[in-house]
């Protein structure tokens, strides 16, 4: 209970504070000290149907890391995945510029989260072995 209380009141005013908060939440989820169901609800509520871009970005980075590091599965975060899909499809309360800036990273995260489940026995293509950061840098060049 105390862990959940801390997670809701931790400072998130600066990028450094948000990064630390994300790391601590990932460690708490990995250690099973924090309910993913409660965290899913909390983060989805904070993102306010996409209108709070800071919490939207926080949640996107959190679940992407949780999925890629196999800390959680897509089934653990149905509310956040639904929210991310709505934002990517332009069906959220977010202002017009927010979905445009988050659309590509959200679609990439959704694809990354979906692909491992589909390719359990399939060979990994060479492009998939590159880090996401490398792929993003190459695509922006």
* Residue 36, both tokens: 């993913």
What confidence tens digit (pLDDT) does each residue in 14-23 have? 999 999 999 9
Does residue 91 sit within a domain? yes
What confidence tens digit (pLDDT) does each residue in 49-88 have? 888 889 999 999 999 999 999 999 999 999 999 999 888 8
Does residue 9 sit within a domain? yes
Does residue 51 sit within a domain? yes
- Other Cβ atoms within 10 Å of 14 Cβ, number: 9
What confidence tens digit (pLDDT) does each residue in 28-57 have? 999 998 899 999 999 999 999 888 889 999
Note down the domain range covering 56: 2-115
CA distance between the termini of the chain: 46
Does residue 108 sit within a domain? yes
Q: Is residue 140 predicted with pLDDT exceeding 90?
A: no
In DSSP notation, 10-60 reads S--SSHHHHHHHHHHHHHHHHTT-S-HHHHHHHHHHHHGGGT-HHHHHHHH
Q: Is residue 119 predicted with pLDDT exceeding 80?
A: no
């Amino acid at each position: 209970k105390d862990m959940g209380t801390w997670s809701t009141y931790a400072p998130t005013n600066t990028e450094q504070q948000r990064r630390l908060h994300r790391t601590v939440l990932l460690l708490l989820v990995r250690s099973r000290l924090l309910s993913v169901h409660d965290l899913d609800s909390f983060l989805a509520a904070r993102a306010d149907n996409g209108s709070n871009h800071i919490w939207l970005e926080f949640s996107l980075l959190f679940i992407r890391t949780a999925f890629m590091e196999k800390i959680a599965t897509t089934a653990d975060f149905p509310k956040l995945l639904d929210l991310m899909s709505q934002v990517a499809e332009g069906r959220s309360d977010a202002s017009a510029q927010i979905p445009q800036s988050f659309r590509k990273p959200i679609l990439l995260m959704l694809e990354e989260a979906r692909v491992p489940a589909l390719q359990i026995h399939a060979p990994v293509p060479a492009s998939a072995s590159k880090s996401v950061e490398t792929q993003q840098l190459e695509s922006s060049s």
